[in-house]
Amino acid sequence: MSFKFLARAERLFLAVALLASGCTTDLRHQGMVESGNVAPQHGDLPPVATFSVVGFDPETGDLGVAVQSKFFGVGSVVPWAKAKVGAIATQSYANVAYGPDGLALLAAGKTAKETLKQLTDVDDRRDSRQAGIVDAKGTSASFTGAKCNAWAGHREGTNFCVQGNILASENVVKAMAAGFETARKVEGSELADWLMASLEAGQAEGGDTRGKQSAALLVVREKSGYGNANDRYIDLRVEDHPEPIPELARLLEMHKKFYAGAHKNKPKRK
């Protein structure tokens, strides 16, 4: 059996595995589906219709994403982040290549706005995509394609952006932005608290019109993962729950107790 055949078989196996998992990536964009094979169409995959917030703490350097959706395991698709680089949410008919490709562009020195423009410019299905990016300087950028299901839109702010589709109304993202800005003024709070406050505010205004199912919170901080082996400071997921946001908040409180030292001894950004 030739190496070429094995390599092709491995790529096809990975493509099938991603489809089976419900991952809404454009496989042709990632080079996983070879020319001549059928790339998945929008009708083949459920949209990751959702609302999310991407944020940055200028004091600590923490970067993160929080998301909620009527979608199983939304944390496996939407949030991407790397310490000292940036954080990204990719959703609607999500192109998950925006995650790793976007982080690579940010690491190479592109701003959030430059990165988002470069990602969408080469994506022929950008009209159905939605994404939000915050870079390690706090610059934010959001994108909502013209074909995203209504209500769809976003807000950009200093050190954060919020975005959502199939929402109850524009009030959802307005409330999310206000929730983030209010929460970050609370003494002793941290980025994870601000992200959660944003989700809670969005849900209070109606959130995803299809309902609730999963939520996730990802915050990265350099060498703050278990054993200081990676930057995944907080990585919490609620895959399937009738009240995913309250459950995610409960898990965050458990994290604060279990990793009390990390929460108490916040770094100072240089």
Domain range list for the chain:
3-33, 46-264
* Measured distance CA(55)–CA(71) in Å, rounded: 22
Kindly state the average pLDDT of the residues 79-91: 98
- Residue pair 55/46 in contact (Cβ under 8 Å)? The answer is no
Read off φ and ψ for residue 134, nearest 5 degrees. -130, 130
In the predicted model, is pLDDT for residue 8 greater than 70? no
DSSP 266: -
* Measured distance CA(120)–CA(124) in Å, rounded: 8
Which segments of 122-259 does DSSP mark as H helices, in order? 171-183, 191-204, 244-258
- Residue pair 180/157 in contact (Cβ under 8 Å)? The answer is yes
Q: Which two tokens stand for residue 240?
A: 């399937």
In the predicted model, is pLDDT for residue 117 greater than 50? yes
In the predicted model, is pLDDT for residue 5 greater than 70? no
Q: Which two tokens stand for residue 202?
A: 């969005």
In the predicted model, is pLDDT for residue 23 greater than 50? no
The reported pLDDT for the residue numbered 229 is: 84
188-245 pLDDT, tens per residue? 999 999 999 999 999 999 999 999 999 999 999 998 888 888 999 999 999 999 999 9
In the predicted model, is pLDDT for residue 77 greater than 50? yes
124-181 pLDDT, tens per residue? 999 999 999 999 999 999 999 999 999 999 999 999 999 999 999 999 999 999 999 9
Give the residue with greater pLDDT, 126 vs 37: 126
Q: What is the mean pLDDT of the chain?
A: 86
The reported pLDDT for the residue numbered 175 is: 98
> Could you tell me which CATH number the domain at 46-264 has?
3.60.20.10
Enclosing H/E stretch for 121? helix 112-121
Residue tagged 């929080």 (tokens): 66
The reported pLDDT for the residue numbered 43 is: 55
* Measured distance CA(90)–CA(261) in Å, rounded: 32
